[in-house]
Amino acid sequence: MLTKRIIHKIDLEKYEENLNYIRKITDAKIMVVVKANAYGHGMVKISKKSEELGIDFFGVAFLEEAEELRKNDIKSDILILNYIAEENIIKVSQSDYIITLYSLEQLEKYNEILGKKLKNIKFHININTGMNRLGINIDELEKLKKYNINIEGAYSHFSNAGNDEEITEKQYQIFQKSVRKLKKMGFNIRIKHISNSAGVFQNKKYSLDYVRVGMALYGLQPLNYKLDLKPIMTIKTIVSNIRNIKKGENIGYGKNISNKNVKISIIPIGYSDGYLMSLSKKGYVLIDGKKCNIVGEVCMEQIIVDISKLKNVSIGDEVVILGQQKLAEITPEILGKLANTVPDDIVCKLGQKR
């Protein structure tokens, strides 16, 4: 018996099309970023499909994600991009995970714990080129000499690729200078990567050994103009109730008095399902291929939409929250703009219960 009121569908054929499209843009190998459950799209499913398509490197945020991939028989290299707690570093040193070196303080702590076994860890050093989040500054690199460490790769992260060419180029030059310095110090930097999704499309020279791609693979637009990328997430539900509201009656929470007679439909999805509260009175759904605006506030597991202009709506009819219906489409970019957020936020939230 089907009891789910919300259906999430991930189109792996479109995912493959997006991957092939990106492969035509860059000569670099692709590191598929599957952090945050592959941006809500299902980390294990995306990773397995990626390996079938020849991907040999994945990026995750945290140790738990790397462990989940290994438990599900993902064999490719895994780079942990974020923080690893000190109490886990012994376990990591006994694994094949590649971890990010992002500060001298972090390295000193790991050295205190592991001693000579620090050499067992494969690091990718994160160079701070202007993002000022994680990363070691170029003038700190000399201090790495005293450690017996294996730095296999180096990377950085563009802060505004696709929007500010001057800043992006400056970051790229700082990164290249840092890599040259590391090599002069005797480190064998085999793998270099700096491009995110936006960087891939901004300038081909930024595609070094690998490019780290997340959002573009999932069909999200990384630039301020449309690329031939296809969203792979569709979310559907149903009409759960229909009511006729008279002028002067309230709709939903708070004081939300209708200024006219209106026919409404109740849709069983809300902010507990990742549908943002900020879409109250701004968002819309598709019913019978028609746009139906949200009236009132987004509730915990329900929204209310205006169906006055629709002729035939019945309880149980299909409702599209994200995706296509007939000739109409709701994209992550549309919902992101309405909610004053980024499309990544939309899919991460809506995909959280997958």
Domain containing residue 19: CATH number: 3.20.20.10
Report yes or no on 6 lying in a domain: no
Task: Mark which of 163, 187, 218 sits at the end of a domain.
Answer: 218
Could you list the residue range(s) of the whole structural domain that residue 30 is in? 11-218
Q: Could you tell me if 318 and 273 lie in one domain?
A: yes
Report yes or no on 273 lying in a domain: yes
Crossing angle between the packed helical segments 332-339 and 343-350, to the nearest 10 degrees = 100
pLDDT of residue 1: 36
- Residues written for the chain: 354
Comparing C-alpha atoms, which of 243, 234, 202 is closest to residue 322?
234
pLDDT of residue 225: 86
Q: Could you tell me if 140 and 250 lie in one domain?
A: no
Report yes or no on 30 lying in a domain: yes
pLDDT of residue 4: 57
Residue 346 maps to which CATH number? 2.40.37.10
Q: Could you tell me if 188 and 43 lie in one domain?
A: yes
DSSP label of 281: T
Task: Mark which of 184, 218, 252 sits at the end of a domain.
Answer: 218
Question: What span, in angstroms and rounded, lies between the C-alpha atoms of 72 and 60?
Answer: 15
Q: Could you tell me if 173 and 305 lie in one domain?
A: no
- The active-site residue, picked from 75, 253, 291, 309, is 253
Total domain count for the chain?
A: 2
pTM equals 0.94
Q: Could you tell me if 189 and 331 lie in one domain?
A: no
Planar angle of CA 210, 90, 30, nearest 5 degrees: 10
Q: Which amino acid is at 55?
A: I
Report yes or no on 227 lying in a domain: no
253 is catalytic: yes
Q: Could you tell me if 346 and 273 lie in one domain?
A: yes
Comparing C-alpha atoms, which of 102, 52, 95 is closest to residue 77?
95
Report yes or no on 2 lying in a domain: no
Q: Could you tell me if 246 and 170 lie in one domain?
A: no
Q: Could you tell me if 177 and 255 lie in one domain?
A: no
- In the structure encoding, which two tokens stand for residue 300, read together? 């915990």
109 is catalytic: no
| Binned average pLDDT, 10 residues per bin, the chain of 354 residues | 74 98 96 97 97 98 97 97 93 95 96 94 96 94 94 95 89 96 95 95 93 97 92 97 93 89 96 96 97 96 96 95 97 97 96 76
Q: Could you tell me if 209 and 315 lie in one domain?
A: no
Per-position DSSP letters for 45-76, written without gaps between them:
HHHHHHHHTT--EEEESSHHHHHHHHHTT--S
Q: Could you tell me if 240 and 102 lie in one domain?
A: no
Comparing C-alpha atoms, which of 45, 81, 335, 22 is closest to residue 207?
22
Query: In terms of C-beta density within 10 A (0-12 exposed, 13-18 middle, 19 or more buried), how is residue 354 classed?
Result: middle
pLDDT of residue 2: 45
- Residues in CB range of 85: below 8 A, 6 or more apart: 63
- Residues in CB range of 177: below 8 A, 6 or more apart: 138
Report yes or no on 134 lying in a domain: yes
Report yes or no on 226 lying in a domain: no
- The active-site residue, picked from 14, 35, 122, 236, is 35
Per-position DSSP letters for 225-274, written without gaps between them:
S--S----EEEEEE--EEEEE-TT-B-SSSS-B-SS-EEEEEES--GGGT
Question: What span, in angstroms and rounded, lies between the C-alpha atoms of 209 and 164?
Answer: 23
Report yes or no on 296 lying in a domain: yes
Q: Could you tell me if 214 and 238 lie in one domain?
A: no
Taking the CB of residue 83, how many other CB atoms lie within 10 A of it? 16
Q: Could you tell me if 102 and 66 lie in one domain?
A: yes
- In the structure encoding, which two tokens stand for residue 272, read together? 């507990």
DSSP label of 335: H
Q: In sequence order, what are the beta bridge partners of 293?
A: 284
pLDDT of residue 162: 81
